[in-house]
Amino acid sequence: MIEKHWGMKPNLDKALMIAKRQLAEFVYDAVNLEGLNFSLPEIQTLLDGITVGGHKLSDQQIAINQGNAWRQLFDWITKDVFNLSKDRICELHKIAAKEEALTWGEFRTGSVYISGTSYNPPHHTELDLKFKEMLIEFEKLEDVYDKAIHLFLFIARTQFFYDVNKRMGRFAMNGFLLSQGFPAINLPAKRQLEFNTKMLTFYESGNQEEMNLFLRSCLDSKIVQIMKE
């Protein structure tokens, strides 16, 4: 039997401590994956509440939103009030997508499309049903990383919101992992081409296997070792 947790021991305090130290890295990679070319020091400066030169204010707001969403997630997990309800996910989207998406904090009420694929996301009238379907399939899975990755992929493919779907999927994935005492999966910007290529294949097929393996490979081996100690 393959050890899917790499021998890690669930530890909420340790997982949260590591994630908080990674905050600037999480935001840096997330915004660079969206094509916003911030350096890590610039992100660290923004998260300290200081604006940086050479970037649009709207781009800086996107980075700040990501930091605020992570901090909200940390707070919920610390207080043991994080859950996978529609209300919680929408509440987090309200922070993460503020002034970026067409609307924020609510499911979309119109159609969207995904560039580069012929796959069409579900009609907006189906979204509540799809959310329930996501949770039913989630409950059938046993492994914590399979469950977490399922959340990310289902949210990204369903496109519950007008925008910020992949980032919301990662928030749901990592919120669940951290709440279970396991480290978050950070998607490095340097693997953007590999990520985008595999996601386009996933959008077409709906088969999670290849993306599951890819996302697992993004977990830093140094963090795995810390969690094993």
How do the domains of the chain map onto residue ranges?
12-105+120-228
> pLDDT at residue 109 above 90?
yes
> pLDDT at residue 5 above 90?
no
Half-sphere exposure of 31 (CA within 13 A, CB side): 28
> pLDDT at residue 136 above 50?
yes
DSSP type of residue 68: H
On average, the pLDDT of the chain sits at 94
> pLDDT at residue 51 above 90?
no
pLDDT for the residue numbered 148: 97
> pLDDT at residue 1 above 60?
no
DSSP type of residue 19: H
Q: For the range 59-64, what are the long-range contacts, defined as Cβ-Cβ under 8 Å and sequence gap of 24 or more?
A: 59/31, 61/98, 61/99, 61/100, 62/31, 62/34, 62/36, 62/100, 63/27, 63/31, 63/36, 63/38
CB distance 10 to 148 below 8 Å: no
CB distance 29 to 191 below 8 Å: no
pLDDT for the residue numbered 54: 86
pLDDT for the residue numbered 154: 98
> pLDDT at residue 72 above 80?
yes
Topology classification of domain 12-105+120-228: Fic-like fold (1.10.3290)
pLDDT for the residue numbered 4: 65
